[in-house]
Structure 1
Amino acid sequence: MTGPLRPAFHEGQVLAAADLSATVEYARAGAARHARHLHEWGIVEGLGLATEPRTDPLTGVRHVEVSVSAGIAVDGTGREVVVTEPVVLRESDFEEVNGADQSTDEPYPVFLTAADREPAQLPGPVSCSGSATKTRVEESYQILFGRRGDERLAAEQQPPAIGAPPADPPARWLVLLGYVHWADGHFSGVETTARGVAARFAGVRADTVSARSGALTLRTGTEAEEGKPALVVSGGDRPTLVFGLYQGGGAVAPLMTVAANGNLTIEGSFSGRMPAGSTLVTSGTATDGMLLPLPSGITPEQVADGRVVIHAHLTPRTPPLGGTTLYSPVEATVDGDRRVRCRVRLYDPLKATPEVVEQPGAVDFLVLATVAPTNGGG
């Protein structure tokens, strides 16, 4: 088994067509191997399905014209597929594949594949001898419609062997662009995902991603958009890991920050599944009639179905008193709805007409939420 053959030349060598072709093929094969094994195949740029409203002049039926925007894809063989300008999809091409189907709301897949063609116009003389032999190949494309369910064929495609050259037509690799809806003899809409399969975008295979600027940003779009999430790893004197949302100026407002010493700062609440026997606590002050709050991360549903057991401890608070006023708590309880019942009695024996006054009171509370053990223990 030999490795890739790199063309080599020397002075006085007579260059045959095969020598020049080998020079081109060597570069193409290297680029294809790079794209095939260092990247995930799919849409690189553009190639979205766009719609324009239309009306059938004969029937008056409203429908849409569907076009594929200009863009680039790399297929699973490592071949680059370039669409230089928008392409309107032809309804006749769709009907050739799916015209016999009954009416359905299910969308149909749209694929892009590479295709070699002879150029419409050659760039200069064909050859010095005037031969009609072609000297250029147009690396073109073809847009295909599939039947419902054919989108799964794209995921089942197998890449060529490690050392294989670029796969030229008639070998075909399908890149899923999206889906079209069909109704009343026309396109009626588009989708990017159907039956659990979405249009596929190119990716990268890497165990290490390094940043030259000292900060590495991961975001969900090609541009920084306000309100969209981002993950930023910063080095320098104060290394941090920040998850947040983009602001209008492009800065990331932190929602969660991990400092170099391991300290975690979050802007919202923290919740998660607690193991059996775990306890969460909250405390504060409540007045008569108030509902005691639950610890953060505990929901009323967890309490109602017995997954969490609530324990509450109340301590009556002494109200502001005059110099000779006596105070005694009458009631300091909490009912099954976590509502506080607190009453106090006040009595001043030195008043001209002493009397006992009963009024609502306040308590300091401590609420403990314990995760109940499961039937299996632990």
Structure 2
Amino acid sequence: MTGPQRPAFHEGQILAAADLSATVQYARGAAVRHALHLHEWGIAEGLALVTEARTDPLTNARYAEVSVEAGIAVDGTGREIVVVDPVVLRESDFEEVNGADQPTDEPYPVFLTAADQESAAAPRADACGAVAGRTRVEESYRILFGRLGDERLVGEQEPPAVGAAPADPPVRWLVLLGYVRWTEGHFTGVETAARGVAPRYAGVRADAVTARSGALTLRTHRNAEEGEPAVVLSGGDAPSLVFGLYQGGGSVAPLMTVAANGNLTIEGSFTGRMPAGSTLVTSGTATDGMLLPLPPGVTPEQIADGRVVLHTHLTPRTPPTATASTLHSVVESAVDGDRRVRCRVRLYDPLATGGEVVEAPGAVDFLVLAAVAATNGGG
């Protein structure tokens, strides 16, 4: 087995067509290997399905003219597919494939695939006046309509072997662009996903990603849009890892920051699964009839299924009295199964006229401890 062969030339060599073709083939092979093994195949730019409202002159019915935007895709063979100008989808092509189907609300897949064709450039004459073959091949494409369910074919395609040369003509590889809806002889709309399958976009395979500016940013859209999330890894004098949202000026407002010393700063609240054996605490003051709060991060469901065991401690507070001679005693100080406080006190002033005993609601200082069971509820 030999590796790629790089053409080499010397003075006085007579160059045949095969020599020049080998030069082109070597460069094509290198480009294919780069695209195939350092990147994930898919749509690299554009190629969205867009609609424009139209009216049928015969029926006055409204429908959608569907076009494919200009753009670039790289298929799973490493082949670059370039759509230079927007392409209007032809309804006649759709009918050839799906015209016999019963009416349905399900969207149909639209694919892009590479195709070669002879260039429109005129054949050239050689030195002897004989007409030679065409000297250009146009690396073109075809837009195909699939049947319902054909989107599954995208995931079943197998890439070529390592080092495989570019195929001439190109191997048919389906790049899903999206879906169209069809009603009574016309397109009526487009969809970006159907039946759990969406267009695939080009990516990169790398174990290390570096930034020359000293800051590496990850975001969900090509442009920095206000309100969209971003992750920023910064170096320099104050290294940090920031997760935040873009502001109007393009800066990132931090929601969570990890400093170089490990300190974590969070703008919002922190919730999550508590490790087995951990304890959370909350405290405060409650009056008779109030529901005791749970420590942050603890839910009633965790208590109900035994994942968290709740402990409460109540200390009755001295009630306010009308006179300095009023005596008080606690009749009840407890919390029921619903975490509701029951606190009653009796007040008695021996110096007051009548000397009546009065019972009134009381208040308590509470301490609630939530302990995570050692088995974490078995799950």
- Kept in 1, the 8 Å contact 2:121–2:136? The answer is no
Looking at structure 2, the residues matched to 375 and 266 of structure 1 have their Cα atoms a distance apart, in angstroms, of 26
* Structure 2 partner of 1:285: 285
- Residue 160 (structure 1) shift: 1.5
SS of equivalent to 1:244:
strand
Question: What does the per-residue CA deviation read over 1:167-186, in whole Å, with 9 as the maximum and x for residues that have no partner?
Answer: 23252111111111222122
Looking at structure 2, the residues matched to 168 and 55 of structure 1 have their Cα atoms a distance apart, in angstroms, of 43
* Structure 2 partner of 1:13: 13
- Kept in 2, the 8 Å contact 1:114–1:169? The answer is no
1:220 aligns with 2:237: no
* Structure 2 partner of 1:233: 233
Mapping of 1:1-378 within 5 angstroms? 1-121=1-121, 129=129, 131-274=131-274, 278-319=278-319, 326-346=327-347, 358-371=359-372
Looking at structure 1, the residues matched to 376 and 234 of structure 2 have their Cα atoms a distance apart, in angstroms, of 47
Whichever residue aligns with residue 162 of structure 1, its letter is V
Looking at structure 2, the residues matched to 118 and 314 of structure 1 have their Cα atoms a distance apart, in angstroms, of 89
Looking at structure 2, the residues matched to 215 and 105 of structure 1 have their Cα atoms a distance apart, in angstroms, of 47
**19-28 vs 83-92, which moves further:** 19-28
- Name stretches of at least 5 consecutive residues in structure 1 with no aligned partner: none
Looking at structure 2, the residues matched to 369 and 57 of structure 1 have their Cα atoms a distance apart, in angstroms, of 72
**351-360 vs 151-160, which moves further:** 351-360
- Kept in 2, the 8 Å contact 1:79–1:167? The answer is no
- Residue 130 (structure 1) shift: 5.9
Question: Number of paired residues?
Answer: 377
Percent identical among aligned pairs is 79
Looking at structure 1, the residues matched to 306 and 200 of structure 2 have their Cα atoms a distance apart, in angstroms, of 45
Whichever residue aligns with residue 363 of structure 1, its letter is V
- Kept in 2, the 8 Å contact 1:287–1:362? The answer is yes
TM-score by length of 1: 0.90
Q: Note the aligned Cα RMSD (angstroms).
A: 2.7
Q: 1:46 to 1:286 in 2, by over 3 A?
A: same
Looking at structure 2, the residues matched to 241 and 376 of structure 1 have their Cα atoms a distance apart, in angstroms, of 34
- Name stretches of at least 5 consecutive residues in structure 2 with no aligned partner: none
SS of equivalent to 2:182:
strand
Looking at structure 2, the residues matched to 163 and 367 of structure 1 have their Cα atoms a distance apart, in angstroms, of 66
TM-score by length of 2: 0.90
- Residue 340 (structure 1) shift: 2.0
Whichever residue aligns with residue 157 of structure 2, its letter is Q
- Kept in 2, the 8 Å contact 1:275–1:371? The answer is yes
- Residue 377 (structure 1) shift: 6.7
Q: 1:304 to 1:126 in 2, by over 3 A?
A: farther
**61-70 vs 306-315, which moves further:** 306-315
SS of equivalent to 1:35:
helix
Whichever residue aligns with residue 318 of structure 1, its letter is T
Question: What does the per-residue CA deviation read over 1:208-256, in whole Å, with 9 as the maximum and x for residues that have no partner?
Answer: 1111122111111111111111112122232222222212222222222
Q: 1:364 to 1:168 in 2, by over 3 A?
A: farther
SS of equivalent to 1:197:
coil
**176-185 vs 299-308, which moves further:** 299-308
- Kept in 2, the 8 Å contact 1:287–1:342? The answer is yes
Q: 1:342 to 1:106 in 2, by over 3 A?
A: same
Whichever residue aligns with residue 57 of structure 2, its letter is P
Q: 1:292 to 1:126 in 2, by over 3 A?
A: farther
- Kept in 2, the 8 Å contact 1:126–1:135? The answer is no
SS of equivalent to 1:342:
strand
